[in-house]
């Protein structure tokens, strides 16, 4: 069993202030190799996550029986990004194992969202499913393109993750989505 002090730290790892920047570095590297699927899938998953939150916050649309008020963004981002990041930082012989380790770390980010009482199990499960779908759907093409980049490019993604994790400032995404939801509900 993990110590209670670890959960807020793991939760940080999935925050948009960390994952958006890491995802941007990976996406730019992939686009430089003319691989557009993973960036597109990531944008789609992020959009679904944001729309689910807007629907609940603006109009109360959710699934009451599952206590679902919107996909967990931390879980979705971690599951979409950490597997590719981990595989990209690994030597050739263990990339598949590191991809799986990235998936496991994303799962722990999801559990952390439950432990810090930020989400319900259905919201975390949905976020993880969206993120894992991004990772797995694009892995066949994105992973070779990503690992084909120079080590320095891939290391940059790791350094960006580490820097923003250590110098953590939470992203204001929840407040922005909340204000946007209320404004949209007012005008629509």
The C-alpha atoms of residue 18 and residue 25 are separated, in whole angstroms, by 11
Residues 6 or more apart in contact with residue 110 via CB below 8 angstroms = 14, 72, 74, 75, 78, 79, 124, 125, 127, 128
Cβ neighbours around 60 below 10 Å, total: 10
- pLDDT category at 169 given cuts 50, 70, 90 is very high
How do residues 136-152 score in pLDDT, each as one tens digit?
Answer: 998 888 999 999 999 99
Residue 1 has pLDDT above 70, yes or no: no
Cβ neighbours around 130 below 10 Å, total: 25
Q: Which of 49, 71, 52, 48 is nearest to 60 (CA)?
A: 52
Contact 123, 68 (CB under 8 A): yes
Residue 130 has pLDDT above 90, yes or no: yes
Mean pLDDT of all residues belonging to the chain: 96
Predicted local distance difference test score (pLDDT) of residue 139: 86
Domain range list for the chain: 6-187
Residue 154, token pair as written in the block: 């891939």
- pLDDT category at 4 given cuts 50, 70, 90 is confident
Contact 73, 19 (CB under 8 A): no
Residue 1, token pair as written in the block: 């069993």
How do residues 53-101 score in pLDDT, each as one tens digit?
Answer: 999 999 999 999 999 999 999 999 999 999 999 999 999 999 999 999 9
């Amino acid at each position: 069993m993990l110590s209670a002090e670890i959960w807020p730290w793991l939760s940080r790892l999935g925050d948009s202030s960390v994952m958006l920047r890491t995802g941007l570095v990976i996406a730019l590297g992939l686009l430089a190799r003319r691989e557009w699927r993973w960036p597109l899938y990531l944008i789609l998953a992020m959009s679904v996550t944001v729309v689910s939150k807007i629907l609940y916050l603006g109009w109360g649309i959710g699934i009451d029986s599952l206590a679902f008020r919107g996909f967990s963004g931390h879980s979705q981002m971690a599951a979409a990004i950490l597997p590719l990041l981990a595989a990209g930082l690994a030597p050739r012989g263990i990339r598949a194992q590191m991809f799986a380790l990235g998936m496991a770390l994303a799962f722990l980010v999801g559990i952390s969202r439950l432990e810090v009482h930020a989400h319900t199990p259905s919201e975390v499960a949905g976020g993880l499913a969206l993120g894992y779908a991004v990772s797995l759907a694009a892995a066949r093409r994105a992973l070779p393109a990503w690992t084909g980049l120079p080590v320095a490019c891939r290391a940059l993604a790791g350094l960006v993750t580490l820097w923003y994790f250590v110098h953590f400032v939470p992203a204001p995404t929840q407040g922005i989505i909340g204000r946007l939801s209320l404004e949209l509900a007012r005008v629509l």
